[in-house]
Amino acid sequence: MDSQNILLTEFDYAPFSRIKTEDYKPAILECVELAKKEIDGIANSAEKPSFQNTVEALEYSGQKLDRVTSIFFNINSAETNEEIQKIAQEVSPVLSEFKNDVILNKALFERIKNVFQQKDSLDLNKEQSTLLEKKYKAFTRNGANLPEEKQKELREIDKELSRLKLKFGENVLAETNRYELLVTDETRLKGLPESFKNEAKSVAKEKGKDGWIFTLEYPSYLPFMKYAEDRELRKELAFAFGSRGFHNDELDNQENVLKIAKLRYKRAKLLGFDSHAHFVLEERMAETPEKVDSFLNEMLEKAKPAAEREFKELENFAKDLDGIDQLQKWDAAFYGEKLKQKLFNLDDEKLKPYFKLENVIDGVFTVAQKLYGLHFEEVHDIDKYHPDVKTFQVTDKSGATVALFYADFHPRPGKRDGAWMTIYKQQYVQKGKNERPHISIVCNFTKPTEKEPSLLTFNEVTTLFHEFGHALHGMLANTTYPSLSGANVYWDFVELPSQVLENWCYEKESLELFARHYKTGEAIPQEYIDKIKESANFLEGMATIRQLSFGMLDLSWHATDPSDIEDVKQHEAKAFEPTKLYPDVPSSCMSTAFSHIFQGGYSAGYYSYKWAEVLDADTFEYFSEHGIFSKDIADKFRENILSKGGTEHPMDLYKRFRGQEPKPEALLRRAGLISK
């Protein structure tokens, strides 16, 4: 073992500052070899197969590999460079091959099958039964019963898919990074808030240019689209954003999209499923593509009349205000914001001074303290991968360690856009010790400038609460096995803890805890709280069908045979037809930058956001009936949802928490799509 390679030593906290980029590949390869030896030991054991020496032993194998790869791939998302991306391309096929070596290990599968066939006589508890079933299914769902030549084909598909997904993500990041809109004439920046202009000026200065630079990163792109009065500039930026991966050049993703969709279908057929969506949804609450399709269409039926009414209202408003005859996609955020200001006299610029990033962080911590008795203390002696990262020790009322929490809030060239929660170390129990998790959230909020701290839009406030909800799922995990811990749950259940926490952003009792003016310390005025609440459903019909359109696009790629699809744009236009409001933009394509489904884990699962909204609306109704800081309901939620991870079927957990199955009416009521 290479003693010079820090990743191959024993550590608890990730030793970021001591990791050299050249350490990653040899460490991963070494850990793969170690894990292989552990697997061989289990598979070739002379002992009679038992739950402990086979299923449990397999669960705890490869821990070193899991730690090292979690560090590496998290860095590849949050602080990457060309060298790291190159290593990712090199190690991904190796890891894919190793995973297949395990799944297609005949001796190992025979031992697991042996234990599985005895399951009724083994006296296992609920978590052990779930683990046994998941391990057995992991083998059967991934080719363990296939003949050898088919297994070989599966390996090749998996290797190629891991390469293509990485390439897709790299192209989107490169496209985002290479574009900039340089404006040198200040009169063209009319409507933009001063603080936002200052940030754009700083970006230009950093790049040695005169003027203002706007980029495709969300903290730059979204405010520009919302406030810039110059319609031509909005159009230019929207064209750049909408055409990422769609330029027929070296960063084009059309071929990658087609290959990924077709390989996923081929893989599913090989395993005996009708489509990739049939394969994926077997292990989801939704169960089948037919159920998802029915759910999306039912929601569309309820939301479409409202969306069409709202679109007409927005179109008439734009015509009356500026003589716009045809509302285009680059007008949506701008006129939406103008109409919102007219109806509610409320905009982000009025709200932002009350949402200083540090105050919002304190606010989400206070909400967690009131609900779950957690205490957060910033610590400065934990290693970080970037100076922007903040670290916190999380303890409970008795002072016992609950988790380590990393938070990374601002955009950088090496960071992919969006916001996500991730894990550096899982929670689990081994040899009587409850190993506590290391959890991270990564966001892309506006950076502080010389003149102003980082002030969040209300949408960014809800994003922070959302990701922190995921983090709580990880922090409060209390299971025996790492693969069933925290957010390791069915994909259409994973968004419940995150989406439900967003509700606290709209409540007076919660906002009063942290929404204070960054200069005066004055609490957010009651009229603003009322307007936040009132405007929560503003253009909700349009927002709903936008979300449904993404779920339908996802299903269109994954629920049927994509073999005949030759034109990505054409296919996408057809999928969007039922939800279409705006004229199509020929130069833009959603699929070529739809990282959630072509790089992340949301393939055949994008509907989960809407599905989880049903769960979250029903859950929050329960909280509201008893008080949003009800200890009793919070304890039930923690006990039955947050701490249990994937140890039981999510519907069983939900019914134990709520006393009933979730009702879609709660969501439709909250969205104002049906009467209270």
How many CB atoms neighbour CB 249 within 10 A? Answer: 9
Q: For residue 401, what are the β-bridge partners? A: 395
Q: Strand, helix or coil at 512?
A: coil
* Pairwise CA distance, residues 92 & 84, whole Å: 12
Q: Quick one: 439 exposed, middle or buried, by C-beta within 10 A (0-12, 13-18, 19+)?
A: buried
Q: Strand, helix or coil at 413?
A: coil
C-alpha pair distances (Å), 75 with each of 21, 442, 537: 10, 11, 37
Asked if 281 and 288 count as a contact pair (C-beta separation under 8 A), the reply is yes
Q: Which stretches of 512-607 are DSSP H helices?
A: 526-534, 540-558, 568-576, 595-598
CB-facing half-sphere around the CA of 379: CA atoms within 13 A: 17
Q: Strand, helix or coil at 439?
A: strand
Q: Which of 11, 27, 24, 9 is nearest to 79 (CA)?
A: 24
Q: Strand, helix or coil at 371?
A: helix
Q: What are phi and psi of 212, to 5 degrees?
A: -130, 130
Task: Name, in order, each residue with C-beta under 8 angstroms of 409's C-beta and a sequence gap of 6 or more.
Answer: 357, 388, 390, 443, 444, 445, 454
Chain centroid to Cα 539, Å, comes to 24
How many CB atoms neighbour CB 589 within 10 A? Answer: 23
Letter string b/e over residues 505-540, b meaning 16 or more CB atoms within 10 A of that residue's CB: bbbeebbebbbbebeeeebbeeebbebbeebbebbb
Q: Which stretches of 478-539 are DSSP H helices?
A: 496-502, 508-511, 526-534
Q: Which two tokens stand for residue 505?
A: 């952003």
C-alpha pair distances (Å), 527 with each of 382, 533, 609: 42, 10, 31
Task: Name, in order, each residue with C-beta under 8 angstroms of 277's C-beta and a sequence gap of 6 or more.
Answer: 289, 292, 555, 558, 559, 604
CB-facing half-sphere around the CA of 168: CA atoms within 13 A: 25
Residue with tokens 């769960």: 615
Asked if 645 and 477 count as a contact pair (C-beta separation under 8 A), the reply is yes
Residue with tokens 């950088």: 412
* Pairwise CA distance, residues 154 & 619, whole Å: 41
Q: Which of 467, 495, 507, 613 is catalytic?
A: 467
Active site residue 83: no
Residue type, 490: Y
Answer left, alpha or beta for residue 344, where phi above 0 means left and psi between -120 and 50 means alpha. Answer: alpha
- Catalytic machinery residues: 467
